[in-house]
Structure formats: structure tokens, C-alpha cells
Amino acid sequence: MENIALSPLTGSELNMIWIIWGIALVAIAYGFILMGEITRKDSGTAKMIEINNAIMEGANAYLARQFKTVALLVVVLALVLFFTGTSADPAVNLGRAIAFVLGATASALTGFMGMRMAVKGNVRVAAASLKGKVEALTIAFRTGAIAGMFTIGLGLLGATTIFLIYKENLSSVLVGFGFGGCLLAMFMRVGGGIYTKAADVGADLVGKVEKNIPEDDPRNAATIADNVGDNVGDCAGMAADIFESYEVTLVASMILGATVFGNMGVIFPLLLRAVGVITSIIGTYFVRSKSETEPAMKPINRGFMVSSILSIIGFAVLTVMYTQGSIFNIMSTDAKWANVLAANPDANVVLAWKLFAITTIGILLSFAISSMTEYFTSTETKPVQEIAKATLTGPATTILSGTAEGMESSVWAILSIAVAIASSIIVFAINPIGDAVLVVEQTLYGVSLLGLGMLTVTGIIVAEDTYGPISDNAQGVGEMAKLPEKARKVLDELDAVGNSTKAITKGFAIATAVIAAVSLFGSYKEITGMQYIDISNPMVLIGLLIGGAVPFLFSSLLIRAVGRAAFLVVNEVRRQFKEIKGIMSGKQKPEYGKVVDICTTAAIKELVGPGLIALLMPVIVGFLFKAEGLGGYLAGVIVVGQLLAVYLSNSGGAWDNAKKFIEQGNYGGKGSEAHKAAVIGDTVGDPFKDTAGPALNPLIKVMNLVAILIAPLIIKNPGYGPGVIAVVVIGLAIIGTALFFSKRSDDSGIADEVAKAVSGKGKKK
Amino acid sequence: MENIALSPLTGSELNMIWIIWGIALVAIAYGFILMGEITRKDSGTAKMIEINNAIMEGANAYLARQFKTVALLVVVLALVLFFTGTSADPAVNLGRAIAFVLGATASALTGFMGMRMAVKGNVRVAAASLKGKVEALTIAFRTGAIAGMFTIGLGLLGATTIFLIYKENLSSVLVGFGFGGCLLAMFMRVGGGIYTKAADVGADLVGKVEKNIPEDDPRNAATIADNVGDNVGDCAGMAADIFESYEVTLVASMILGATVFGNMGVIFPLLLRAVGVITSIIGTYFVRSKSETEPAMKPINRGFMVSSILSIIGFAVLTVMYTQGSIFNIMSTDAKWANVLAANPDANVVLAWKLFAITTIGILLSFAISSMTEYFTSTETKPVQEIAKATLTGPATTILSGTAEGMESSVWAILSIAVAIASSIIVFAINPIGDAVLVVEQTLYGVSLLGLGMLTVTGIIVAEDTYGPISDNAQGVGEMAKLPEKARKVLDELDAVGNSTKAITKGFAIATAVIAAVSLFGSYKEITGMQYIDISNPMVLIGLLIGGAVPFLFSSLLIRAVGRAAFLVVNEVRRQFKEIKGIMSGKQKPEYGKVVDICTTAAIKELVGPGLIALLMPVIVGFLFKAEGLGGYLAGVIVVGQLLAVYLSNSGGAWDNAKKFIEQGNYGGKGSEAHKAAVIGDTVGDPFKDTAGPALNPLIKVMNLVAILIAPLIIKNPGYGPGVIAVVVIGLAIIGTALFFSKRSDDSGIADEVAKAVSGKGKKK
């Protein structure tokens, strides 16, 4: 893959790149401006600042330990990448290793900044709620926009810089960059996901269910850990995750673009991204309530719509520039198009509009996915209300109903992706330009542009997503600091809206994962030089079966990890209630720090097993079942990963909102039997929607990129020599050990102790 | 596919076929003998006979209505098959249509006989329990064996007869026969599954949860319906399902065998089956307790082991006959092997042992699958005990724990299938016989023999499975008829063992589905004449994504159907408790018939939508995305279908037994909070394990066979002419309508009424 024939950059091409580079810097600068603006805002009473400091401390401590743990792995992998590099030029291999480290760092940094600003934002939103909704919403959304700006700025900057430096070795180095981003995102998703849900489930099981005290009640020792979890899971994890999606869609389309159209094929995706940066910045200005009475969701949707429409206009402008040929010309720089152009002088114009069409379809797809997610998870629509109705016949029917709705939502999501991919086929099959092979290449490039189109307004998407935990935590801070009723009402509304925005952005992230994976799949075939990957070949089928199993294994491990960690939290909170007598009366403060420590240790510990599996499985499958088998494996991971991710996320979201629907006073409202059943549904959904589901998204891409990275090694080592056998055996041994420890921690003794204690209690009843 | 070059049968080949035919008749005759034996047994007190008659009546009524509904579809499809037949010889097309009807009839008959004998057996087992365990177990197992004998007898008879009549047109007609069997099995699985779980869940929700009366209490109006459900779901559905697996593995290997080895490639699978028939009959004689104290599981395992070992010996004998060349010779009848034999005179001997090896691996795979299922669902092992421990922290952790265990079990099941397929690759790749193409063909034939090997002792497997509901119902009859304590204890033990045998045979059925589907996949490629099905081709990828979605859609529809039907049952049982005052005191009898009617109507109604989807989806995908897309679709269905089926079945089984584990006195035993949580887990698991999970098994094969049937039409109609568009539009319209009605029945008004009533109750609390 190192030898893509890119011609030297022309003057106008170079100019374009510098412009894109400048726009990336603008995004980062704008991020800093927003940061200053937010930091200057009032951060509330001493009580609020105290709570906030505790959250900040816990979040910092967690991220520091996580980065330390992952850093070791990053260093090891950087060395592996360097020494296994297949380029003849060591500078390229070194570049790939460095790009990997940079990608990982950028991803970590995005997550860290997102989290840090969110924590700062929480308390300021809570303070602003005293002044009213307009101010509170603006602060909450702008804080989220900081993370958004860093995501798009760093992402675009990195990719552009790599292109400037490595040119024809672009692919190899870009894959390193993308891999670094994905890997970190996966770890932040997995670790953060386990942390946040262990704290949340643990807090709920003792607080809401056993002690009957409200959520975020300061008497619950797990409260601070719960809030820390929201920040390290939803903010840091999600920001890193979207950064990675943003990056990988870009990487995939640049690699495919280089093959199909040469320089301009690479620059075009960068230009699209630059348009998105500008429209995202403009969009953030439209997120401002017109009055205190306007529902909070409206301005957010306005910002999203404005950005999207402006982006489509921007794309159209780009296209007109193509068709005029006045500035640049897709086919001009690549020799293989000379014949096509000679036969059909209009080809360039037609192609430009095709690219426009497919990118716009990407934006439409993002609307489709977000409407669908909203339909399946909003309190206003039938699925959630069906689940709420099912609570009347108890927890079992609640679970069954949510399972059915979640599974169905997954079907529609995958169908809309299938339709989008089909549209790429149709767009490029009508009046085809060039021979059949060229058309297939264009189609794959088109698919990668779909992903790019979907993530055009990433700045807004990240802002929306980060807004979720900010408003959630602001509400928590408000509750703990006992703010007046009016302010609390403002915060409640912002929080409810945050649940929707979080669910919607999760839908995006997952859909882009599939689109990105499909385009990476195209790159995989290019790199291995295979003519086809025949699923009826038993080797490929075996790969497909194993690949399909991995998302199930991964989900199973993560759900179990949350359960185990939550068990420890439950135990600790129970202990504190028992041993610190003054907690319930409010006379004594619980030891929040202990729960924070437990969550941190548990999350870091649980992170290792699944991470190693994600890294090593493609290696083992690749060496055992060769490039064909690994191709089947990737297909299996994509299809099952997508189905499971949407199912887990949406069923979880739906259960959460079914509970909210009942809390609005339906079917008996809070405290009724129906509500109890809904709480159980919500608790089941917690690790579904916030741990396992979203972790599958980076998992799919990590595996894809590992496959692309090791493909040249697999091709170089056919058969089953001692080296191949050694890799497989060592890989299996590591995975076996990881699985063993992952399952063994059940027997820490604590679980059994608690079991015994409770079982005694059960008998006495 | 009509033109496989089979040479005329030689004298010795014809003799072999007549012998096989005779052995099939022996199985059927033995079934009749057992039937007479059972019928003559004592059928207990008048009270027991009365209960039994009610169950029989309900079951007959249900099956009659189901057959009537499905018969219409069978007739329509037979006509479609006849008129769309692509053979030049109308006799072949007619043969295919007739074979389809016969396959459907045989499947229905097997199910019906299984159910009928099971109902007769229930009461006789209950009566025999008064005499002791040895007698009761023998009757229960022998009754199951009747269904087993009809399964293997009819299956072998049908396939052999078709071969005798149609010879070189074998494939086409065999596919019709297999399709008929699968289709009926799917409907019986779906309908029976909805029926049984609607009654079960409905009975439990009111009886156990609300009224606190035990299972099978005659005061519960849903009791008889629950018992009827066990018979129409577990007996009729499962027997039809295994019949179909038995048939399809045979069909797949005969089709592939014809291509690779000519006549002997077809006869060899029939011979293997004949060996299995004999060893199954012998095995049933070993299922007899040595004493009243021997655990009931032991003799059943003994029978299974004896049959399996005898089968391996039988296979070895067959192989020696090959190697001696004294009786028959695989390669002798097919011209294409002449060169191979000339170059390597030992090829025949080596090949014979390879076939022996792969068939034996099939038997070993059946052990692996059954041990794994037992590990994940037995009360004695860690997974179930972990779930039981999770009940201590409430229903939510119970569900999460079961989900994690179920997902993991699915991973191991699919890995063992992957290993088995890999072993076929290895066996045929070491000292390969013939060129690369021939080796691939042998490998695929090997995979089909794996499936054949797994189902060698089908007679015993069906007996084990049918034993489950017989012992379950016998226990129910015992409870309702208030048998003395000693007899009840015997029945309790038999029932517990039945849970294990049921789970194990379900594991078989699903694993063979995948193996059979993989071999059918091979036939699909042959038929379409495609060189390869390239997953990186966007059309194939789209097919893969849609195919993966179908099992999710199907499961979602079935789970929802059970929920809806159960809701109706709950409503009716509640009404009866309210309106018929004397029920609780036992003075008045509830109206059992009403609940039976409700279940029957609901199951038939809910059956149609999923059934149409299964039939039409491959047609739509095939015409839209062509043969390649349909290939991807099948691969998606296989991988996701398998993962989901095992997950649903095993998590359901594990929850069931976690409840049993607690009822054995752990964690507070019956009535504790832990037990309540476990009951909720069990209720969630009910439609997982008895409706959605097992229905996926025939679904996978129905879709595969539809694909094979329509493949020639797809090839004949390339592009998107008006005919193709019409088929797609009509197909989509029918599916849309089915989906609409499937979802609409929510609004029957009853649901809302109940919701309102209960919601009022909730508020009062």
C-alpha cells in the first residue's frame, strides 16, 4: 500500500491544503476562545465549588491512572509498528509509529479536554440556572462545543499534516494515525463505560432500591463516583470515540481517494471536512434560546439544522468550482483518467455532481439515523410507551418488551445503512464513468464519502453529546447543593433534553462505524491484493463465524465487568450506611473517596482483558486462516457488531425513558409497582447502553485497522511455519490468560461474603 | 442443478438402496410396536384420564387449526414450485411440487404423532410413578422413542424413495422435499412456541406472582392451556424441527455427494443414516434404570453413549468394506476420478478413511455441543450458580448475569462449529486427493457429513427431547390428580432430568442448523454457477447486512407476539378469578377451555407475519441484489441466526435452572427475595428459550432452501425488468402488511383496558 502513485502537489493543490490547515487551526483557536468565555462565568456557591472539586479530583485521578496504564501499551505497540513496518524506507515506518502515538495522544487529549471542560461547565450551568434557562442552556451547549472544536480541529490538523509530510506514503502513515485514535477511544470507552455504570448501578441498587432515597442524594456514598463516571464515561469516552470516527472516516476516504483519483481524491475529503468546520462554528451560534419558554431541544435542533443546510450549500459551492474547472479538477492529476476524459469530456462535471450527491446522502442518512433513534428512545413515541405499558405486568414483561423494541430498532438502523450503501452503488452505476473496475472503486470511495457526509457537522454532534452529561451533572450539583425550586426546574428540563441528545449522537457514532468499516474493508482488499473474498470458501466462512462471535464475547465480558464492579460498590455503600451511623440523618458525611477508588481500580483492571482480545483476535485469525479468513472475520465483526451495538444502545435508552415516562405521572407514577419494574428495566439497560453498546463502535474499527496493519505480514508469511505458529500460540495464550483473569475475579471472596450475608437475610424474612 | 451426471445404478448399488429402504421400514414398524406397548399401559384414575382428555382435546384442536391454516399455504407454494420449475421435463417439476407436499406432510405427521403419543404417555407415566421410577422412566422414554422412530423412519424412507424415482434429477426434487419439511417445522415451532409461552407466562404471571399459588395448580384457568402448550410446542414443534434437521443434512450431503462422487456419494449418506437407525433402536433398549435408586439421567446417557459408540463401529465397518473394495467403491462410478485413480491407486482407501474421520468428528461435535450446553445450563455448574448469586442483588443483576452467560455460551458454540469445519478442511487438505477444485468439493461434502454425523443417533435425540415435556406433563398431571408423595417425588426427578435433556437436544438442533446451512450454501453456489461470492462487493455486503438483520427482526416479532398473547391470557385468568368466586376455595372449576381458545387463536394469528417474512425476504433480496447479494444474505442469516439462537436458548435455560437452584434451598430458597428475582429471570427466559431461539433454527434453513429454489429464476432474470420489479414490490407490500398487522394488534383495546385497570390499582397502592 506504500506505493500509491500520487503526483507532486501542484501550486493550487498546495494552496488548498494550507487553507484547510488554517481552518483546522481556527477551530482550535475558537475552542480556546470558548474555553476562556466559560471559565470566566460564575461558578456558584462555596458548597457547589466543593462538590465540583470532588468530582474534578476523582475524574483527574481516574484519567491519570488510565492514561498511565494505556501509555505502556501504546509504547509497546509503537515499537511493534515500527519493527513490523513493511516499507523499504525506514522513515515511513518511523512515521507510522509516530503517527500512531500522535493519533493516540490526540484522542486522549480530546477526551481529557472534553471531560475537564464538562466538569468546569457543570457547576457553572448550575449557577446560571439561577438566572434562567437562556443563560444556562447557552453555557451548557458552549461548554460542549469546546470538546467539539478540539475534535474537529485536531482531527483535521493531524490528517492534513500527515498528507503534507508523507504524500505517496500517506496510506501507511494515516492508518497508524487512525489506529492510535481508535485504540485510545476504545480504552476510554471500555474503561469509562465500566466506571460510570459500576458507580451508577451500585448507587441505584442501594440508594433507590434499598434505602429509598432519591438519585444524587448526598447521603449516598456512591454519588460523587456516579458523577465522576458521567464525566469519564460520557464526556471523555464519547469525545474520544467521535474523534476516532471523525478520523477514521477521513482516513478511509483519503486512502481510497488516493487510489481512485490521486491527489484530488485525497484533498476532496479534507475540503469537505473544512466546510464542516466552518458550518459547525456558525451552527454553535444558533444554539441560543429565543426566550425562557422555548423548549430547550429547539435551539439545539436549530443549530444542527443550520449547520447541515449550510454544509450542503458549501458542498454545492465546492462542486460548482469543480465543474467550472476554474480552481481544480479531480481527474486532471491522475494519468489513468486520460482515456476516460478523452472519450467523455463531461466526465469531470458528471463525477463532481455524483460526489456531491453521495455526500449529501450522507447528511440525509444522519437525519434518518437520528430520527430513528429518537423514535425508538423518546418518551413521546410508541416504542417507549409500549415498554412503559409492559411495566404494568411486572419487570419480566418490561425486559421482554424492551428487548423486542431494541432488536427491531437495530433492524431499521441496518436497513437504512444498507439503503445508503445501495445509493452509492446506484449513483455510480447510472451513466458509469470509466470501466467496471473504476466504477467499483468509485462506489467504494462513495461509501467512504457517505461516512464523511454523516460526520460533517461533528463539531455540533460532539457539543450535543457533551451537553448530555454536563446537564446531567449540573442537575446533580443542583440537587446536592439544594438550589431553589425554580433553578431546579430549569436544570431538570436541560437534563431531560440531554438524554435525547446523548442517544441521538450514539446512533450516529455507531452508524458511522459501519460505514467506516465498510470503506476500510475496501482498503483491506486493496492492500492484500486479493481479487475477491469468497464467503463460500470454508476458510472465509470460519472467519465470518469467529468474527461474528467477537462482539458477543466483548459484550459478555463488559456486562460481567460492570456487574462485578457494581457489586463492589454496593458492598461498600452498604458498609458505610451500616458503619457510619449518622449518614441517613445527614449528620455525618459518607466517605465518597473510597467509592471513587473502588471504581477506578475496578475499571482499570477490567479494561485489560477486552482490550487485548480486540488487539489480538485479528492477528490470530489472520495467521491461522490467512488473508481470506481475516476478510470473513472483518465482515462478521461488522454485521454482528452493528446489530448488537444498536440493539444494546436503543433498548437501554428506551428503558431509561420508559422510566421517565412513568415518572411523568403515567401508570401510577413514581413509587408505583410499575415504576419499580421500570427502574429494573433501566438498571438492566445501563451497562447495555453506556458500556457494552458504545464500546462496540471503536472495537469494530480497531479490529479493522489491526487487520489492515498486519495484512502485509500475513501475505509475507503464507503457510504455517514456526514463526506463524509462534504468533498464534502466544496470541492464544495471552487471550486465554486475559479471559481467565476476567472470569476469575468473581472469586475475590467479597462476592461470596456478601452473598452469604444477604442470603442469611433472605432466610430470616 | 437438474443435470448432475449420475450413471445408472449398478446391481450392488440397487441392493444397498433396497436394504436401506428396508431399514427405514423397520424403524417405522418398531415405532408402531412401541406404540402398542405404551397404549396398553395403565392410564390411571378417572381424574387423571379426565385431565388427560382435556389436554388431548386442546392439543388436537390447536394442531387441526394450525394444519388447516398452513395447508392453504402449502397448496399455494406447491403450485408456485410447479410453475416456476426450471427443469425441461415437467415430470421433474411436478415431482418437486409433490415432494414438497410430502416433505411437509411427513414433518407434520412426525410432529402430530410425537404430540399424540406424548399426551398418551403423560398420564401413563403418572400412573406408573405409583409403581416406581424404573417403570415410569421406561414408559416416558419409550413414548419419546416412538416420535424418534417415526422421525428417522419417515426421513430415510422419503429420501431413499426420491433417489430411486428421480435419480439424476435428484437434487431438484430433494430440495422440494427438504423445503416442505423445514417450512412445516418452522410453522410448528413458531406457532407452538407462541402458544406454549403465552400460556406459560400468562399462567405464571397471575398464578405464581399475583395469587401465590403453585405451578400446575388446578385453580389456575391457564393450567390446561399450559400443558397443551408443552405438547404442541415442545413435542410437536421439536419433533418436526429435528425431522427437518435430519432431512436437510441428508438432502445437503446427497446433493453435494452427487456432484463429487456420483452415485456412491449419494448412497453413502443414506448408508450412514441406516447405521444410525439400527444403533438408535439398540440404544433405546439400554435406557432402563438398573434400580430404583439410580439417578434417572444415567440410563438416558447410557443409551446415548451405546448408540454413539455402536455408530462409530458401524461407520468403521462400512469403511473397511470400502477399503476392501469388495462391495462398493466410491470412485468407481464417476468418470472424473479415473485420472486420480490412475495416478494414485490407493486414493480410494485413503478417501474412505477420510470420510470415516469426518463423520466421527461429527459425532464428537455432538458431544462437545451437548457438554457445552450442559455446562451453561446445568444447576451443577458455575454459570447457573453465578446467575443464582446475582439474584441476591435483585432482578436487574439477574438479567444482566444471564445475558452475559448466554452471550458467552454462544461464542463457544460457534467456535466449536468453526473448529469442526476447520477439521474438515484439514482432513481433506492433508494428502489431498485430486486437484484443488476437487479438494474444495470434498471439503464441502465433508462439512455436510459433519452434520450427518451429529445427527446419527437422531432416534435417541428425539426420544430424549420428547421425554422432556412428557415428564413435565406427567408431573403436572400428578400434581393436579393429587398423587401420593412418593409418586410425586419420582415425577419430580423425572421432570428435572427432562429440563436437561430438552436443553441439550436444543443445542444439537441449532448446531446442525448451521452445519446444514453451510453445506446448503455450497449447493447454492453450485446452482447459481457463481465462481465466488465476494464479500467486499457492495452488493454482497448489503445482502450480508440485511441477512444479519432478519434473525433480529424475527426474534423481535416472536417475543412481542408472546407478550401480546400472554397479556390476553393474563387478562382472562384475572377475569375468571374475579368473576367466578369459588375458584380460589376450589369449589368451582375455572373455564379452562376459554384460555385454550385464546391461545389457539393468538398463536395462529401471530404465526402468519413471521412466516411470510421468512418466505419472502430471500425472494426480495435475490431479485434486488441478485445472486451475489442473496449469497451475502444467506451468510448473514447463518452467522447472526446461530449466535442469537444459542444466546436465547442458553440464557433462557440458565435462568430456568438458576430458579431451580434457589428452589433447592440456596440463597434463601422458595419465597425469598432471591427467588422472586429468579422467577423474573425465568419469565424473561421463557420466550427466549422456547419461542424465539428454537424458531431461528428452521428459519435459517427455510431461507437457505428458498434461496436455492429461486436461484435459477434470479439467474434467468438479470437486471430490473418489470417482472422483477413486480415481484419485489409485491413482496415488500406483503411483508409491510404483515409487519403492520403484527405490530397493530397491540391496539386491540384489551391491552389498554387492562392497562387502565391496573394503573388505577397502582395508584391506590
Q: Which residue of A has its CA nearest to B556?
A: A404
Contacts of B633 (CB under 8 A, 6+ apart): B543, B544, B546, B547, B617, B618, B621, B622, B625, B703, B707
CB contact under 8 A, A639 and B544: yes
Chain B residue whose CA is closest to A569: B393
State whether residue B417 sits within 8 Å of chain A by CB.
yes
What would the pLDDT profile of B171-182 be if each residue is shown by its tens digit?
888 889 989 998
In this prediction, residue A728 has a pLDDT band, given cuts at 50, 70 and 90, of very high
Cα Rg of chain A, angstroms: 26
The answer to whether residue B544 neighbours chain A at the CB level (below 8 Å) is: yes
> Given a cut of 80, is residue B603 above it in pLDDT?
yes
Q: Which residues contact A337 (CB under 8 A, 6 or more apart)?
A: A261, A331, A347, A434
pLDDT at residue B678 above 60? yes
Residues B643, A549: C-beta atoms closer than 8 Å: yes
Angle formed by the axes of helices B673-687 and A750-764, nearest 10°: 110
CA A516 to each of CA A62, A272, A446, B555, B729: distance values in angstroms, whole numbers, following the listed order: 30, 16, 11, 28, 31
Test A392 with B534 for CB contact under 8 angstroms. no
Q: What are phi and psi of B222, to 5 degrees?
A: -90, 0
Q: What is the largest CA-CA distance in chain B?
A: 89
Residue whose C-alpha is closest to residue A478's, from A47, A38, A28: A47
Q: How far is A556 from chain B (nearest CA, A)?
A: 4
Mean pLDDT (whole number) for B252-261: 86
* Banded pLDDT at B763 (limits 50, 70, 90): very low
Residue in the block written with cell 411440487: B97
Q: Which A residues, 671 through 700, put their C-beta within 8 Å of a C-beta on chain B?
A: 672-674, 680, 683-684, 687
Q: Decide if A379 contacts A653 (C-beta within 8 A).
A: no
Residue of A nearest to B547 (CA): A639
Cα of A409 to nearest chain B Cα, Å: 9
Q: What is the pLDDT of residues A490-545, one digit of tens each?
A: 898 888 888 778 878 888 888 888 888 888 888 888 788 888 899 888 899 999 99
Q: Is the pLDDT of residue A761 over 50?
A: no
Distance CA B526, CA B631 (A): 12
Smallest CA–CA distance from B687 into chain A, residue:
A400
Q: What is the pLDDT of residue B48?
A: 83
**Residues B562-575 pLDDT 10s:** 888 888 888 888 88
Give the residue, A714 or B219, on which the prediction is more confident.
A714
pLDDT of residue B29: 96
Measured between beta carbons, which residues in chain A are less than 8 angstroms from residue B572?
none
The DSSP letter of residue B6 is: P
Residues of B whose CB is below 8 A from A383: none
CA A706-A710-A715 angle, to 5 degrees, is: 145
Q: Tell me the mean pLDDT in the region A744-752.
A: 50
- pLDDT, one tens digit per residue, over A91-143 is 888 999 999 999 999 989 888 888 888 888 989 999 999 988 889 999 999 99
- Residue A336: CB atoms within 10 Å: 13
Which of A427-431, A560-564, A570-574, A634-638 reaches the highest mean pLDDT? A634-638
Residue B450: per-residue pLDDT: 92
Residues 648-667 of B with CB under 8 A from A: 666-667
B555 inside 8 A of chain A by CB: yes
How does pLDDT run across A474-486, given as a tens digit for each residue?
988 888 888 888 8
Full-prediction pTM beyond 0.90? Answer: yes
Query: What are residue A534's phi and psi, to 5 degrees?
Result: -85, 110
Say yes or no for a CB contact (<8 Å) between A553 and B407: yes
Per-residue confidence (pLDDT) for residue A35, from 0 to 100: 92
Q: Band the pLDDT of B37: cuts 50, 70, 90.
A: very high
C-alpha distance from residue A237 to each of A31, A114, A558 (Å): 19, 9, 15
What cell does B394 get? 435483585
| More confident call, A728 vs B530 | A728
| Region of residue B216 (phi > 0: left; psi between -120 and 50: alpha; otherwise: beta) | left
Average pLDDT over residues A708-713: 90
Task: Verify whether the Cβ–Cβ distance B553 to A407 is below 8 Å.
Answer: yes
3-state secondary structure of A590: coil
Q: Can you read off the three cell numbers belonging to residue B205?
A: 404471571
Question: Are A108 and A241 in contact, with CB atoms under 8 Å apart?
Answer: no
Instruction: Specify burial of residue A302 (Cβ count, 10 A radius: 0-12, 13-18, 19+).
Output: middle
- Chain A nearest-CA distance from B599, in A, is 18
Give the span between the Cα atoms of B411 and A551, in whole angstroms: 9
Contacts 24+ apart (CB under 8 A), A315-320: A315/A272, A315/A275, A315/A356, A315/A359, A315/A360, A316/A356, A318/A271, A318/A272, A318/A275, A318/A356, A319/A352, A319/A353, A319/A355, A319/A356
For B670, the grid coordinates are 422458595
A390 CB near a chain B CB, below 8 Å? yes
Tell me the pLDDT band of B754, cut-offs 50, 70 and 90.
very low
Per DSSP, B430 falls in state S
Instruction: State residue B752's pLDDT score.
Output: 53
CA dist B249 and A222 (Å) reads: 56
In chain A, which residues have their Cβ closer than 8 Å to the Cβ of B212?
none
Q: How many CB pairs under 8 A join A and B?
A: 301
B444 part of contact set with chain A, CB < 8 Å: yes
Residue A482 burial (10 A CB sphere; 0-12, 13-18, 19+): exposed
Please give the pLDDT value at position A739: 83
pLDDT on residue A377: 87
B348 in reach of chain A (CB within 8 A): no
A672 to B545: CB separation less than 8 angstroms, yes or no:
no
CB A758 within 8 A of CB B392: yes
Taking the CA of residue B172 and the nearest CA in chain A, the distance in Å comes to 21
Mutation site for A-interface testing, chosen from B209, B407, B557 by largest number of A Cβ within 10 Å: B407
* Cβ(B546)–Cβ(A415) below 8 Å: yes
Whether B763 sits inside 8 A of A672 (CB atoms) is: yes
Reported as half-sphere exposure (CB side, CA atoms, 13 A), residue A26 has a value of: 16
Q: Which of B532, B562, B755 sits opposite A532 (nearest CB)?
A: B532
Q: Is A546 on the interface with B (CB under 8 A)?
A: yes
Tell me the pLDDT tens digit for each residue of B333-388: 566 777 777 777 778 788 888 999 999 999 999 888 888 988 998 888 899 999 99
The answer to whether the Cβ–Cβ distance between A533 and B534 falls below 8 Å is: yes
CB-based contact (8 Å) between A401 and chain B? yes
Q: What is the phi/psi pair of residue B291, to 5°? A: -155, 170
Rounded Cα distance between A7 and B178, Å, is 59
Q: What is the mean pLDDT of residues A676-690?
A: 92
- Count CB neighbours of B385 within 10 A: 18
Residue B2's pLDDT band, with cuts at 50, 70 and 90, is very low
Which residues, in sequence order, are bridge partners of residue B534?
A: A534
Give me the pLDDT at residue A388, please.
93
CA dist., res. B466 & res. A313, Å (int): 66
Query: How far apart, in Å, are the Cα atoms of B587 and each of A201, A203, B247?
Result: 48, 49, 51
What whole-number percentage of chain B has pLDDT above 70? 94
pLDDT of the residue at A327:
55
Nearest chain B residue to A566 by CA distance is: B397
Grid cell 455446562 in the structure block, residue: B375
Asked whether residue A725 carries a pLDDT value surpassing 90, the answer given is yes
By CB atoms closer than 10 A (0-12, 13-18, 19+), residue A113 is: buried
Point out the least confidently predicted range of B33-42, B84-93, B143-152. Answer: B84-93
Three-class SS string for B283-313?
HHHHCCCCCCCCCCHHHHHHHHHHHHHHHHH
- Cell 485489560 found at: A608
- Confidence bin at B409 (pLDDT 50/70/90): very high
Q: In the numeric block, which cell numbers belong to residue B130?
A: 405409583
Residue A144 has pLDDT above 70, yes or no: yes
Residue A582 C-alpha cell reads as: 449518622
* A401/A389 Cα distance (integer angstroms): 9
d(CA B527, CA B522): 9
Round to whole Å and give the CA distance between A569 and A577: 12
Please, what is the Cα angle at A113 between A112 and A119, to 5 degrees?
Answer: 90
Measured in angstroms, the CA of B663 and the nearest CA of chain A are apart by 12
| Nearest C-alpha in B relative to A567 | B393
Max avg pLDDT among A39-43, B157-161, B259-263, B501-505 = B157-161
State yes or no: pLDDT of A391 exceeds 50.
Answer: yes
- Average pLDDT for chain A: 86
Q: What are phi and psi of B363, to 5 degrees?
A: -65, -40
> How far are the Cα atoms of A481, A492, B721 from residue A496, in angstroms, in the given order?
20, 6, 51
* Chain B residues in contact with A534 (beta carbon < 8 A): 532-535
Phi first, then psi, for residue A213 (nearest 5°) are -105, 150
Judged by a CB distance cut-off of 8 A, whether residue A510 touches chain B is no
> Which residues share a beta bridge with A534?
B534
Beta-carbon separation of B421 and A541 below 8 A:
yes
Cα gap B219→B207, rounded to integer Å: 9
Q: Could you read off the pLDDT of B283-293 as tens digits, one per residue? A: 998 988 888 88
Residue B534, phi then psi, degrees to nearest 5: -85, 115
From chain B, pick out residues whose CB is under 8 angstroms from the CB of A403. 556, 559, 684
In eight-state DSSP terms, residue A534 is B
Q: List, as ranges, residues 720-739 from A with C-beta within 8 Å of B.
A: none
CB contact under 8 A, B549 and A763: no
* Nearest-angstrom CA–CA distance, A208 and A570: 12
Percent of chain B scoring above 90 in pLDDT: 34
Q: Inter-chain contact B444–A669, Cβ cutoff 8 Å?
A: no
Contacts of A518 in chain B (CB under 8 A): 538, 541
DSSP category for residue A213: -
* C-alpha A65 chain-centroid distance: 21
In this predicted structure, the answer to whether residue B65 has a pLDDT above a threshold of 70 is yes
Q: Could you tell me the pLDDT band of residue B759, with boundaries at 50, 70 and 90?
A: very low
Angle ∠(A147,A153,A154) on CA atoms, nearest 5: 90
Percent of chain A with pLDDT over 70: 94
Kindly report the nearest CA distance between residue B642 and chain A, in angstroms.
9
Cell of A186: 476504545
Distance from CA of B385 to the nearest CA of A (A): 12
Predicted pLDDT of residue A329: 63
> Is a pLDDT exceeding 80 seen at residue B77?
yes
Q: Which residues contact B725 (CB under 8 A, 6 or more apart)?
A: none
Q: Which of A242, A263, A257, A159 is CA-nearest to residue A523?
A: A257
Candidates B656, B653, B649; CA nearest to B697 is: B649
Partner-chain contact A687 B400, CB within 8 Å: yes
The tens digit of pLDDT for each residue in A313-348 reads 999 998 888 767 655 566 655 667 777 777 777 788
Mean pLDDT confidence for A46-65:
85
pLDDT at A325: 62
pLDDT at B32 over 60: yes
Neighboring chain B residues of A563 at a CB cutoff of 8 Å:
390, 397, 400-401, 404
CA atoms of A480 and A51, how far apart (whole Å): 8
Please report the pLDDT score of residue B36 as a whole number. 93
DSSP A230: I
Compute the average pLDDT of residues A442-446. 89
